[in-house]
Each structure stands twice: as C-alpha cells, then as structure tokens.
Amino acid sequence: MKKLGIGLLVLVLLVGGGLYFLYENLGIVVKMAVEKYGSAATQASVRLDGVKIDIPGGAGSIAGFKVGNPPGFSTPAALLLSEISLKFDKASLTSDGPIIIDQIIIDKPAVTYERTTTSGNLETIQKNAAAYADKMGAKTSSAPSDKKAGRKLIIKDLVIRDGQIAISQTALQGRMLSAELPTIHLRNIGEKSGGATPAEVIEEVLGAITSSASRIGTKELMSAVGSVGGLVGDQIDTSGTGKKLKGLFGQ
C-alpha cells in the first residue's frame, strides 16, 4: 500500500509537472505549429516573433507574424502583421467541439503586392493556401474518426484594420507605390460547417487580404503605369476578382 501511495504521488507530480510545462510553454507550442503549418500552406517562410496566451483570462497576442514570398518573387516579404490580439472561449478548449475564438484584431498590417509579368505574389500565396486546405480537408474526410486530425476552429469576429500596401512592379523601374488597405471584417468563420480546419482558416483570411490588396494594388498600378505608358481601355479586364491588366501584367 505504501509503495502504491508513493507511485500515485509520483504520477500526480508527473502529470502536474507536465500540465505546468504545457501551460508555461503554450506560446512556444503555438509558435512552432503556426510556423510549420503556415509555411506548408503558403509555400513561403512563415515566422513569428512571439506568442502570449493567457488561458485564465481567455486572451492572447501574437507579435511579428511574417509571411515571406514564394519562389519567383524578390521583395523581402508579402505580409507583416505586427500586432494581433485575440479573445477566446475558455470552456471550448476542453470540450469535444471546435475551439471558439470570439475576436481577432489585426492592427496595422503591412502588405507588399509584387507583380511580375506572369503572376502576383499574393495570388500565388492564396492559390497555395487553397490547394493545401483542399489536401488537408481530403485527409480529414477520409479518416473522420482520427482524433489526431486536430481541433477545428470557429472565429466569430475578425478585423484587419489600418493596413498599408506597398506595390512593386517591374514597369515601375524600382519605384514603389503605396496605398491604404481598406478595413477587412470577417464574421463566423467555420460556423456553418461546424468548425474550420487551421488550413481553411489560413485560406479564408489570406484570401480576404489578397483579394482586397490585389484589387487596390492593381488600381494603383493601372493609374501610375497608365499615366506614363498611355494604357488604353482594351488593356483592362474587369472579369474575375478585381481589375486586372492584360499584357503588361501577363494576365
């Protein structure tokens, strides 16, 4: 009995120590996961400066979220999200359902929209993220009982505000344009499907940023290059998502 009591005490200490380690290092765990799966999804380098999570307070923050560029683009990074704050439902962390995030606010993102004659960096990242989400979704649906597939997410409110876009194109001969990024407001991500996978969340958020930034970026490029090169109306294609320049931008 004495040995049994000692064994139970050791077990409790080990479990308690493990939980304490997880709590104290949860930010590191999240940082490693975001960098690993974010890089896989975008096919670009994803790095975080730091993650802080306050489980009792139901809040957290992410600093220095940086997404590089896929191969074929020369600017240092596509996205730099300096300040991200979030609030989550503490009870959802230990339930069997999706993790519920009540609010995410992304302040002052810096977006670089780079166009070559054949493609744009943001569109390329979005396509990569969409393909990755489809791939991961197929894996999850093929093994619905696999608990290692990971927890899904519901994001009730996500706001991206006060952002800036830097615009680069070879026709500008090294000159950079800049413009304001309109406020982006997404609601109830994953709610209709009972939760979204992290890959699906990445696709939707990057898709919103890409759509807005490429629309504004193309408009600014059209104005700047058109005023110099004399673009005519038949070089503009208004189909699809936003205006795209034919010939000059390879579309």
* For residues 15-29, average pLDDT: 52
Q: Which residue has the higher pLDDT, 244 or 131?
A: 131
Return the domain boundaries, the chain: 26-142+150-245
List the alpha helices (DSSP H) in the chain.
2-24, 26-42, 90-93, 121-142, 198-229
pLDDT on residue 250: 40
pLDDT tens string 97-129:
898 999 999 999 999 988 887 888 888 988 888
Q: Which residue has the higher pLDDT, 98 or 94?
A: 98
pLDDT tens string 188-213:
999 999 998 887 888 888 888 878 88
pLDDT on residue 171: 65
Cα–Cα distances (Å) from 237 to 124, 217, 234, in that order, read 19, 15, 8
Instruction: Quote the CA–CA distance of 153 and 203 in Å, as a whole number.
Output: 13
pLDDT on residue 169: 77
Res. 69: pLDDT tops 90: yes
List the alpha helices (DSSP H) in 25-150.
26-42, 90-93, 121-142
* For residues 46-56, average pLDDT: 87
Residue located via tokens 């220095």 = 64
Instruction: Quote the CA–CA distance of 206 and 199 in Å, as a whole number.
Output: 10
Mean pLDDT (the chain, rounded): 75
User: How many Å from the N-terminal Cα to the C-terminal Cα in the chain?
Assistant: 78
β-pairing, 99-107 with 110-115? unpaired
User: Of 222, 226, 228, nearest to 242 (Cα)?
Assistant: 222
Instruction: Quote the CA–CA distance of 49 and 55 in Å, as a whole number.
Output: 20
